[in-house]
Amino acid sequence: MLRIDFNRLRFLIIDDNAHMRRIVRTLLHGFGAREVYEAEDGASGLEAFTHYMPDIIVADWAMPIFDGLELTQMIRQPGANSNPYVPIIMLTGHSEKKRVTAARDAGVTEFMAKPISAKALYQRILNVVANPRPFIKTKNYFGPDRRRNVSSNYVGPERRKGGQADTIRQSSLIDKAKVPG
């Protein structure tokens, strides 16, 4: 199994609930992370994102000023900030299919329903570090490729239609976070 050195990664937790921020921070510290920054709403989260340049963001969906989806859309604007490719793990107490789809369509990298577990958080982080999804740029979307399994034979209703899509390969965080040896 691949092991990653969390000490080499910078995290930003954005959640209006101080207790939830503390839980996520404690888990990240337990994994070995040392650079863990926090913000209590979408606006201060965007400011912290610009200031700290985190490698991974863990953001709540429901927050004041602007929510996790609005924050994701602002971060995903090409040219608007230094890293529109940053992996974003969305936390929410609502895991209905329409919510998961809305998060995916906003450019969220991974989705986690509350209550969270250490294992689930670790798995999401491992996934964004070891298996970064390519980014897609179309007329209406910029973000991680929403397809988990790429099949050129798929003809269903969710098949991308219309114009060309640029695929942008992501550099992996694995080189930064892999445990040597």
Structure confidence at residue 150 (pLDDT): 55
Least confident of 39-48, 62-71, 88-97, 161-170: 161-170
Per-residue confidence band for 160, with pLDDT thresholds at 50, 70 and 90: low
Average pLDDT, the chain: 85
25 Cβ contact list (under 8 Å, min separation 6):
13, 36, 38
Residue 135 near residue 145, CB atoms below 8 Å: yes
Q: Tell me 79's DSSP state.
A: T
Q: Report the alpha-carbon angle 105-94-118, nearest 5.
A: 95
Which is more confidently placed, 54 or 153? Answer: 54
Structure confidence at residue 81 (pLDDT): 81
Residue 10 has pLDDT above 70, yes or no: yes
Give the C-alpha distances (Å, rounded to integers) separating 127 from 54, 87, 163: 17, 10, 29
Residue 87 near residue 110, CB atoms below 8 Å: yes
Domains parsed from the chain with CATH numbers: 6-177 (3.40.50.2300)
Q: What pLDDT, in 10s, does the model give residues 72-91?
A: 999 998 777 888 999 999 99
Q: Tell me 4's DSSP state.
A: B
Phi, psi of 136, rounded to the nearest 5 degrees:
-115, 135
